[in-house]
Structure 1
């Protein structure tokens, strides 16, 4: 792992941080002034430039803010934490304009300092993974005519800063397209910042987008830049925009309209020079009709719309994608790439892929780990693929979406809300089928890098239980609650929380 670089002329500060970080298995390297840091960066002796830089603000031989500026020129993605005495807080706050990750007031609480540095390490690692993917992997693969239309659209938009709306089912590659639009745009030199509006709690989303001032709310001990400021001069990708809370839609509309916003608790307008690309798997026109999405925001975002095809609409691409993902998985795991037989590819092509390209990628990763031989045969494919008959494109148990429910021929599915993925109930009650489906879905979500897997699957599980019970009792809530073994108030509250009304 790359070391944490500590820059401070105070030996006691360096010593305390070194010992605390080493206890956390975080390697360190210390410097007494900014000049030494710049020499180390220029010398080339450290190919592994720091994971995180922690610097004092006032030192003999240079300022921490000057060091921040010079380091950001060489390594724009490197998180820099500025340490400062309370008398320097105004200077430290101005460091955010230069791209500081956070500042650490002295005297500091050691566990909090370590926690902050660990957060910076995680941010650094995320940046590295994102850069690796953008540099090492092909942008997108696809020979199907539907994908060629997408490629042509990206080409036509390459010199434009216009707002784009990307639609398509989950797992079709919406963020990949957004990155391609950024990479081939006049803003390619600026940052690409992505945020999943559905994955962040409503109470935190406003601060996450627009930032907050110190003291804006309980726990806001420092000023924080939001995603709009982080994306200054570049592109902000708003994934799952259809799930954005209604009151925040108003704030977003204002930013798109006049190019200014206010941090939470702030009184000074901040200019936003950002291109917005939005994405959703939902039918936004329907959301507008239902009153859940602002019509004026919809039209503001829907300047250019790109629809990504589901994988079942581009079956001819499955062979190429599967071989590519097997190569990628082997490289990640440091093993010899496995080959896949034509018979196994035919079986894959009969699968409905409700999780689309992401699900195919996860299956290939599973095969790299679990297939016993170097050549993958049909019998080596995971259970959800093997359950599909060769004459019908049926979604696997445990991963059936609302749009695919009509395709299931041997299952009984209770009515379900749009966008909720639930497991069908087998007619013959085959033992373990829903557990294997749950396992496959959990693995897919975990491998995708999401951090709300517990909440997401719990929500689906509870939704399915309640809908099935209500279907069984013809909508009688009290009777459904009794059969489920929960209270009347509990089922009412859950119906409201899960949006099942």
Structure 2
């Protein structure tokens, strides 16, 4: 690990921090003025920079600005006086990680520096992943099925039909199929059949001869000719006009076609990949899509999962899109807090991955601070929560685990705790249709155990309080409370409150690896409060 740089003209401050960080086995390098820091950056760089705000030879704010130009991702902690509000504001506007008021509590200062180190190390890993980021990503089982299918199809030229909701990444899959196929060195030509007027679509696909219609002043090659030797991607194939479906079927059958106004048959060696968000079987039944064309396209079918079916991928995608947006806009990439990630993971994203990318672009432009918190998220993400977050798609524990980059099941609650969550995962549709056994797989509906001794009663009161379906943990709390009250158990309030507080504190301490100050910050309570609660709850042992 790289050293922590301390910049302060006060020798006593440097000495105290050096000794404290040495006890934590953290390497340290000290400076007395900003000039020496900037000179040292030519040959070295810190893991974290801790700088005083007022020193001979320059201010910490100026140093912050110059360091951020060279190392935009470096966490910088500015030390300042309690009353120096303007300096604190300037520090945050300049991209400081945090400010440390003087005189400071030494354990709190060390804890803050440790948190900055953790953030720096995590950002290094994320940056490395982003620089090596593949064209598609996803750890969810449904996405892994898609990746396996692409791998199995890598040496094939078979026709593929990709289905999935709008914004789920169908064109990305088509490009991946082309790139990893024997035609990877040939052209990839995409056309959205729903975006082109019917009168022009035939010419777009097959080309036209000079004089074929008004305005056709020159001969034009169509997409089939342009894609010769490569792949033609027909997006939103379900919206193709019925008469053009007949011409497309003929091309797929014998490989021959005519330009509009032409009399000479042409041949093109093209692999066709089609995509749609519609139910083509239903379109066939209603007479809007040719059944023979459907079967010609439906040789291998890949189904892309909606983003709400792969919530565990949202944190990784969010960080990637924040980096991508920052690079596109030429600004420093925003970081996102664990709480904000959890909120994102709870949202349903009807626009799927495309909507998440737009949200990240919005945050890059509109979020006021470098670290995005819940309050910085767009209003639509705060006004409603995912209807499936308490049942279908992911349990509350699974959502928290995903937001913190943990494997599913890593965040759980003991059976005796009120916070034990009953939740199940809905069956995930296989990535490849049943007719083309490529990469199928299901997730069984296996609910987690509920709280101890559940009572079979309604939960109308909890639902009424929330104005809708109550979260599973709140339903469990209501069942437990009702059972205690009906049994006449004394002090139900104190007993349940102690369990609830203990569960929150245990979870926060687990996330912060036992660091109480950081746990208190995550819970939004004071350091003295968490210490007192730990003692009252008998959690010191």
Q: Distance in 2 between matches of 1:392 and 1:266?
A: 55
Query: Is 1:314 matched up with 2:286?
Result: no
CA distance in structure 2 between the aligned counterparts of 1:210 and 1:299, rounded to whole angstroms:
22
Give the one of 332, 338, 343 matched to 1:336. Answer: 332
**Contact kept in structure 1, 2:348 and 2:385, CA below 8 Å:** no
CA distances 1:230-287 after superposition (whole Å, capped 9, x unpaired): 1010000000000000000000000000001000000001101000000000000000
Provide structure 1 residue ranges, at least 5 long, that are not aligned to the other structure. Answer: 1-134, 395-426, 428-501
* Residue in 2 that maps onto 1:238: 234
Q: Which residue of 2 aligns with 1:381?
A: 377
Q: What is the 5 A alignment of 1:21-420?
A: 138-389=134-385
Q: Deviations over 1:414-452 (max 9, x none)?
A: xxxxxxxxxxxxx9xxxxxxxxxxxxxxxxxxxxxxxxx
1:125-184 Cα shifts (integer Å, max 9, x gaps) = xxxxxxxxxx98621010000000000000000000000000000001000000000000
The two structures, once aligned, show a CA RMSD in angstroms of 1.7
In the alignment, the residues of structure 2 paired with residue 165 and residue 392 of structure 1 have an alpha-carbon distance, to the nearest angstrom, of: 28
2:179 & 2:263 partners in 1: Cα distance?
A: 34
Distance 1:345 1:219, change over 3 A: same
Task: Supply the distance in 1 between the matched residues of 2:233 and 2:377 (Cα, whole angstroms).
Answer: 35
Shift of 1:388: 1.1
Q: Is the 8 A contact 2:208 2:260 kept in 1?
A: yes
Task: After superposition, give the CA deviation of every residue in 1:164-221 in whole Å (9 maximum; x if it has no partner).
Answer: 0000000010000000000000001100000000000000000000000000000000
Residue 193 of structure 1 aligns to a residue whose secondary structure is: strand
Contact 2:232 / 2:271 at 8 angstroms: preserved in 1? yes
Q: Distance in 1 between matches of 2:363 and 2:326?
A: 10
Please tell me whether the aligned partners of residues 347 and 390 of structure 1 are also in contact (alpha carbons under 8 angstroms). no
Q: Summarize deviations over 1:357-400 as a string: whole Å, max 9, x none.
A: 00000100000000000000011001111111377559xxxxxx
Aligned length: 261
Preserved contact between residue 211 and residue 224 of structure 1 (Cα < 8 Å): yes
Q: TM-score, normalized by length of structure 2?
A: 0.47
Q: Which residue of 2 aligns with 1:92?
A: none
Find the residue that maps to 2:161 and give its secondary structure: strand
- Residues 282-335 of structure 1, C-alpha deviation per residue, up to 9 Å, x if partnerless? 000000000000000000000000000000000000000000000000000111
Matches within 5 A, 1:387-466: 387-389=383-385
The secondary structure found in structure 1 opposite 2:221 is: coil
TM-score scaled by length of structure 1: 0.51
Query: Cα distance 1:390–1:292, how it changes in 2: closer, same or farther (>3 A)?
Result: closer
Q: Any idea what SS the aligned residue of 1:162 has?
A: coil
Q: Does the C-alpha gap of structure 1 residues 331 and 308 become closer, same or farther in structure 2, counting only changes over 3 Å?
A: same
Structure with greater contact order relative to length (CA < 8 Å, sep ≥ 6): 2
**2:405 alignment counterpart:** none
Larger radius of gyration: 2
8 Å CA contact retained: 2:349, 2:355: yes
